């Protein structure tokens, strides 16, 4: 089961969201190209208008979203987080429209054009090309340690994470995710060619306990080598250097230490090195975690299968010597059989129906109108709150109905009210808004109130917002002549 971010109650409902779909399209353009004029062009704006919109968005969120000078613009860490979380929010809105108003099913989501993915394993360039060719998506890839990869997903900086772990991966993430298996990832040992045990077909961890080891740390900050020894009922080695993957590879290549490898890891090739099977057959799990509100299940399953295909292909090309061990040959057959089953399952998933084009998507003003009717119980009272006439509000909602091709209002002799599906949609919308509130993305610019983080579970939800974010109610950073321009909302 996916872990779920706790959604706190919001007694004073959010009356305004700090950004709209056009705002996110502008942030997306900034993130993609880095050139202010080109980002404005992609967003359908002139450069001065884009500057003003970014300034207003910064004021509305209370966050520093972009770093700009006269010509260039790039997203700040908070800007990347706002983009991912905002994209998630509107994808949730689109999904709720599909399921509640149109009744098209829980997976009624188109694939995103660009999927932001963090990985703890270097992805092959041909995988990125294959994703574009076979899945129709572009992968924007960042590499980091297993722990930081999951923190990027937890902190709304990416839409998916490809990593490994010794425990179920989703337990390390506080937001709602789905986990897809990539590889049951057994481990071998890399030894110097002149090592006394290098001539054996298999070696034991017990015989290597006095060696100098190099090891990575997993998502829970557990040292991989130590955990493998403990799982085998052995005392961990006394000499372990814990470092990143690139440094570990360099140490292995120079023969400074022995280490663990796997089919998912890039091989360390040198005439002075050999790979040997371990008697204890230690394992780790490699998986793909996705935000289900952004990545449809069919796409996630196919991407996980593509990752598995690439790992197995690389294994057979680079580790033929290990396949001389019958155990590894059996493992490879089993993984191929499992991949075939998963591939068949992915083919059996129906492609989701197309979402409405942008002209018929629900945006923040539409949500504001519908929420006002739901909150105040009638068109009359909602119109008074919105300072417009009842007939004007009814016409605006009627135009929204025509645009969506769906019925939102019930009209009778006793008055006008929202349909049951529309009310159900708005009930789900409240949870989406509260999640944005918990992540710390609602800003002081609209006078939004922040719920008190009193309970333990609610504090857990706020953890996703750490890392330098300016929360609602906190003053935005002061501007000065020497400071780069920053982002804002239209």
Per-residue model confidence (pLDDT) at position 238: 93
Q: Contact at 8 Å (CB) between 159 and 117?
A: yes
Per-residue model confidence (pLDDT) at position 228: 94
Per-residue model confidence (pLDDT) at position 358: 53
The angle, 0 to 180 degrees and rounded to 10, between the axes of the packed helices 379-386 and 364-376 is: 120
Per-residue model confidence (pLDDT) at position 70: 80
Structure tokens at 52: 């003003």
Report the C-alpha gap between 145 and 121 in whole angstroms: 8
Helix, strand or coil, per DSSP, at residue 118: strand
Report the C-alpha gap between 257 and 261 in whole angstroms: 13
Per-residue model confidence (pLDDT) at position 104: 64
Residue corresponding to tokens 């100098």: 212
Per-residue model confidence (pLDDT) at position 357: 52
User: CB count, 10 Å around CB of 450?
Assistant: 18
Per-residue model confidence (pLDDT) at position 472: 35
* Beta partners for residue 411, in sequence order: 416
Helix, strand or coil, per DSSP, at residue 290: strand
Report the C-alpha gap between 112 and 399 in whole angstroms: 28
What dihedral do alpha carbons 335, 338, 342, 348 form, nearest 10°? 140
Helix, strand or coil, per DSSP, at residue 269: coil
Q: Contact at 8 Å (CB) between 468 and 52?
A: no
* Binned average pLDDT, 10 residues per bin, the chain of 490 residues: 37 60 91 88 91 91 88 89 87 82 64 84 79 86 89 88 87 86 93 91 93 90 92 94 87 91 83 91 93 86 92 88 89 93 74 51 84 82 87 87 83 76 86 78 38 30 35 37 32
Per-residue model confidence (pLDDT) at position 485: 30
pLDDT in tens, 352-396: 544 445 556 788 888 888 888 888 877 888 888 888 888 888 888
Structure tokens at 22: 């056009």
Structure tokens at 112: 């995103």
Residues in the chain: 490
* End-to-end CA, the chain: 39
What residues contact 169, with CB distance under 8 A and at least 6 apart? Answer: 150, 163, 179, 219, 285, 287, 289
Report the C-alpha gap between 442 and 37 in whole angstroms: 28
461, 457, 439: which is closest to 18 by C-alpha? 439
Helix, strand or coil, per DSSP, at residue 465: helix
Q: Contact at 8 Å (CB) between 135 and 121?
A: no
Per-residue model confidence (pLDDT) at position 440: 61
pLDDT in tens, 86-134: 888 888 888 888 778 877 665 556 677 788 899 988 776 778 888 888 8
Per-residue model confidence (pLDDT) at position 125: 74
Report the C-alpha gap between 215 and 195 in whole angstroms: 19
For the entire predicted model, the pTM comes to: 0.66
């Amino acid at each position: 089961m996916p872990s779920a971010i706790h959604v706190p109650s919001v007694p004073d409902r959010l009356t305004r969201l700090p950004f709209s779909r056009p705002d996110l399209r502008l942030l997306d353009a900034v993130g993609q190209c880095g050139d202010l004029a080109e980002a404005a062009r992609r967003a359908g704006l002139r450069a001065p208008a884009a500057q003003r919109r970014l300034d207003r968005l910064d004021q509305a969120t209370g966050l520093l979203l972009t770093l700009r000078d006269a010509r260039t613009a790039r997203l700040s860490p908070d800007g990347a987080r706002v983009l991912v979380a905002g994209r998630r929010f509107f994808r949730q809105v689109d999904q709720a429209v599909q399921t509640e108003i149109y009744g098209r099913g829980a997976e009624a989501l188109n694939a995103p054009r660009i999927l932001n993915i963090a990985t703890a394993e270097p992805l092959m360039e041909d995988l990125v090309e294959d994703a574009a060719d076979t899945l129709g998506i572009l992968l924007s890839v960042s590499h980091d340690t297993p722990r930081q990869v999951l923190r990027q997903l937890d902190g709304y900086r990416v839409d998916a994470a490809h990593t490994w772990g010794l425990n179920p991966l989703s337990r390390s993430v506080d937001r709602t995710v789905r986990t897809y298996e990539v590889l049951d990832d057994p481990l071998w040992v890399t030894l110097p060619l002149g090592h006394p045990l290098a001539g054996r077909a298999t070696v034991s961890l017990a015989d290597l306990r006095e060696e100098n080891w190099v090891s990575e740390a997993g998502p829970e900050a557990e040292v991989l080598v130590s955990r493998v020894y403990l799982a085998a009922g052995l005392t961990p080695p006394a000499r372990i250097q814990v470092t990143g993957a690139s440094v570990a590879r360099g140490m292995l290549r120079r023969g400074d230490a022995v280490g663990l490898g796997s089919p998912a890891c890039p091989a360390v090739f040198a005439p002075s090195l050999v790979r040997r099977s371990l008697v204890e057959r230690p394992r780790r799990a490699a998986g793909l975690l996705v935000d289900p509100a952004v990545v449809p299940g069919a796409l996630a399953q196919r991407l996980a299968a593509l990752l598995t295909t690439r790992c197995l292909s690389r294994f057979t090309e680079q580790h033929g010597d290990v396949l001389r061990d019958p155990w590894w040959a059996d493992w490879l057959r089993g993984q191929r059989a499992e991949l075939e089953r998963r591939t068949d399952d992915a083919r059996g998933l129906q492609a989701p129906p197309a979402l409405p084009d942008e002209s018929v998507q629900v945006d923040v003003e539409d949500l504001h109108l519908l929420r006002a009717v739901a909150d105040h119980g009638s068109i009359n009272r909602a119109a008074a709150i919105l300072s417009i006439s009842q007939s004007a509000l009814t016409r605006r909602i009627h135009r929204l109905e025509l645009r969506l091709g769906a019925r939102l209002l019930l009209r009778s002799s006793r008055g006008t009210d929202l349909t049951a599906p529309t009310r159900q949609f708005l009930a789900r919308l409240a949870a989406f808004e509260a999640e944005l509130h918990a992540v710390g993305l609602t800003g002081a610019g609209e006078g939004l109130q922040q719920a008190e983080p009193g309970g333990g579970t609610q504090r857990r939800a706020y953890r996703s917002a750490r890392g330098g974010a300016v929360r609602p109610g906190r003053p935005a950073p002061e501007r000065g002549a020497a400071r780069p321009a920053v982002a804002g909302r239209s």
